Chain A
Amino acid sequence: MQNLIKHGVVVADDNWRLLRDEEAEFAADENVILPLSRFLQVQGGEHCGALAVLLAPDSDPLVLQPHLASLTLIAIDFPAFADGRGYSIARLLRERLAFKGELRAVGDVLRDQLSYMAQVGFDSFAIREDRSAAEALEGLADFSEQYQGTVLQPVPLLKRRVPN
């Protein structure tokens, strides 16, 4: 996968292949990100490469609970950047299920969403192919603070500044 920002830097390719198509073929030793239903079929089987899962905006992230120990990467799809469901899914994975692996935003992912996405727990961003990941990276620095409690800073600013 290309055009990727991971842990705050642009990386050319990290050897994960995103397969959106339920029927797509892949080699037994490939590292693949599969749609949820395909992932649930394949996992625990003969595949010797690494497996990751792609959640759609209407997926229930809680179904991944039994598989969390074996997952190093979960991708969340943003079919359109105005579709904000993935932000709540990310928070649920981080805060409710305490997922510690990589959380990747894929799809219509652009510079102006990155700072919010980072706050809800994403740590990698597959920037839309027609845009520069290097330029998008600047979006991560748009805000130096958040009023709310977030994954990165659970205690909201509006409480932190109150003298004890």
Chain B
Amino acid sequence: MYKYDEVDHRLVRERVAQFRDQTRRFLAGELSEDEFRPLRLMNGLYVQRHAPMLRVAIPYGHLNSTQLRKLAHIARTYDKDYAHFTTRQNMQFNWPALENVPDILAELAEVEMHAIQTSGNCVRNTTTDAFAGVAADELLDPRPYCEIIRQWSTLHPEFAYLPRKFKIAVSGSLEDRAATWVHDIGLHVVRNEEGEVGFRVIVGGGLGRTPMVGKVVREFLPTRHLLTYLDAVLRVYNRFGRRDNKYKARIKILVQAMTVEAFAAKVEDEWLHLKDGPSTLSEADVAYYAAFFTDPSYETLAANSAEFVAQQASEPAFARWLERNTHAHKQPGYRSVVLSLKKTGVPPGDITAAQMEVAADLADRYSFGELRVAHEQNLILADVKESDLYQVWLQAKQHGFATPNIGLLTDIVCCPGGDFCSLANARSIPVAEAIQRKFDDLDYLFDLGDIDCNFSGCMNACGHHHIGNIGILGVDKNGEEWYQITLGGSQGNQSAIGKVIGPSFAQADVPLAFEKIMQLYLEQRLAGERFIETVRRIGLVPFKERVYAKLD
């Protein structure tokens, strides 16, 4: 992974010093609340329901064990012994005291971490495929480009005060696992007819109040032009994006208002002046950053050793975990392990300080000391030998992250909701738990198969409910919490925005509605058909009829 040099260290230290002084001036009354707000937001600090919330950047979801131990230390020292992984692959602390935040940032800086631009109207943490570098279907390792984008976007003087937040995702594989169609800019690696690798540039996707699938503004951008083209897109947005209404300020609204053709033409116009300028990437530049992301020293192993096969045969629970919680690896004899943070009774994405330390130990012992955070809010050990999987399973089980539910209905992607967030209309955590309890039978859950379930406590859509195969949105009706259910959303190459099936439900009725939807799916599915495929084939009407039949 990327290693800071002296200049990276210096810049982060300077940002800590700057923020320390901004906090001091705010506490001394020299900065008003209105003046301090954008400054603290640009450093990941929200003022929440109970206390400030600090969001720490985990660039493109990559962590090493030292960093995770530091996060555990911060959770213990400055917070309540736990933290929360977000859908932007970041980590949130829910209970820090404002006056301690500069010290927390100084501790983070020691391990090459920060909270720069994890919030505010600026370019946010770039996200990518959690299996980058180890996935079998990869055209290009996206991580060097993510690091280049991280540096380009960090403390960018021209784009620090954009109309609204700005999110970039990069996918390097054939199958898009980075949700590039629902980002402000999605960069999807493609190969052109000459065999050259470049990016398809998708602009104007996004969730929130006005969910939209993005549009292609450039079918093929040679990788060397990455930064000048990003500058052109951002400059057009910075100058012409709406600033009069925060709900109309995302780039998707500008693209829609201008039409994608006119927007693309304006970007090309701007780019003509920037193209081949000093920010053009040479092969040496890309090679320099790629050198940080070389393969670890894999052993030459045979896949599926006799012992490994025997372990699966004698221990069905291990086989089940293996099926759901590990992923194929490009290197024979290795697999990637997903540590589930979706145990029933624990808020999705939450992790205790003790679990962080266990995960760091597992990474050191079994996966070259590195981990990834998935945007589905789980942790990943990317490079585990098959012969170590049994041990990893035993230890993960002991510490509460071996729930074999990855990709299943109970692997719910969920925002913190009304229990923590001051924006939320409704609580999400207790409802997610009620669903997990309803579907606690593993055989039934396995039979239902792959289902993305996403839950947001308000229309800001932090839980990405629009792209859940089944999505839940908390809504407020006269001060009461109600829940809307959507079906048919999906991420990846066939990205789609889910549609609301009908009137919203009271909290207690959500699990039952889920059960009816799943029953209908089991009745209707063709052999081998996944839930989302059945929804696409038969449409929403049968589900609607089933769910609301007895309510009339």
Interface residues of A (CB under 8 A from B): 81-85, 87-89, 91, 95-96, 110, 112, 115-117, 119-120, 142-150, 154-159, 161-164
Contact = CB atoms under 8 A, between A and B. Distances in A.
B278 A115 contact: no
A159 B285 contact: yes
Contact of B159 (A84, A95, A146, A156): A84
B11 A158 contact: no
B151 A147 contact: yes
Q: Which 4 A-B pairs have the closest CB atoms?
A: A84-B161, A116-B157, A119-B157, A162-B288
B39 A148 contact: no
Interface string B151-173: 11011111111110000000000
Contacts of A96: 273
A67 B218 CA distance: 36
B7 A83 contact: no
B10 interface: yes
B281 interface: yes
Nearest to B35: A110
Nearest to B273: A96
Given A116-B160, A145-B7, A147-B151, A87 B39 contact: no
Interface string B222-243: 0000010000000100110001
B61 to A, nearest CB: 20
B278 A155 contact: yes
A147 B154 contact: yes
Contacts of A159: 278-279, 281-282, 285
A156 B156 CA distance: 11
Contact of B5 (A82, A112, A161): A161
A120 B7 contact: no
B152 A148 contact: yes
A95 B151 CA distance: 22
B219 interface: no
B43 to A, nearest CB: 11
A145 B10 CA distance: 9
B148 interface: yes
Given A147-B11, A158-B152, A164-B284, A83 B278 contact: no
B121 interface: yes
Contacts of B158: 84, 87-88, 91, 116, 120, 148, 150
23 contacts: A81-B161, A84-B163, A91-B235, A116-B155, A116-B157, A116-B158, A142-B14, A142-B18, A145-B11, A147-B156, A148-B152, A149-B277, A149-B278, A150-B158, A155-B278, A156-B151, A157-B7, A158-B289, A159-B278, A159-B279, A161-B5, A162-B284, A163-B288
Contacts of A154: 277-278
B38 interface: yes
A154 B281 CA distance: 13
Nearest to B238: A88
A97 B162 CA distance: 23
A158 B10 contact: no
B484 interface: no
Contact of A112 (B22, B243, B278): B22
A87 B10 contact: no
B10 A144 contact: yes
A84 B122 CA distance: 10
A134 B248 CA distance: 38
B526 to A, nearest CB: 51
B285 A158 contact: yes
B279 A87 contact: no
Given A85-B239, A142-B14, A158-B289, 11 more contacts: A84-B121, A87-B159, A89-B239, A116-B155, A116-B158, A116-B160, A143-B14, A159-B281, A161-B5, A161-B7, A162-B282
A148 B156 contact: yes
A46 to B, nearest CB: 35
A156 B285 CA distance: 11
A51 to B, nearest CB: 25
A143 B288 contact: no
A13 B548 CA distance: 74
Contacts of A147: 11, 151-152, 154-156
A89 B154 CA distance: 20
A149 B157 contact: no
B153 to A, nearest CB: 8
Contacts of A120: 157-158
Q: Which of B10, B152, B158 counts the most chain A CB atoms within 10 A?
A: B158
Contact of A81 (B10, B35, B157): B35
Contacts of A110: 35
A155 B121 CA distance: 25
Contacts of A81: 35, 38, 161
A157 B281 CA distance: 12
Nearest to A162: B288
Contacts of A145: 7, 10-11
Contacts of B273: 95-96
Nearest to B228: A149
Contacts of A87: 157-161, 238
B157 A148 contact: yes
A82 B154 CA distance: 18
Contact of B161 (A83, A150, A161): A83
A13 B333 CA distance: 74
A130 B273 CA distance: 40
A143 B155 contact: yes
Contacts of B121: 82, 84
Nearest to A138: B21
A54 B159 CA distance: 22
A115 B285 contact: no
Nearest to A164: B284
B151 A158 contact: yes
B112 to A, nearest CB: 15
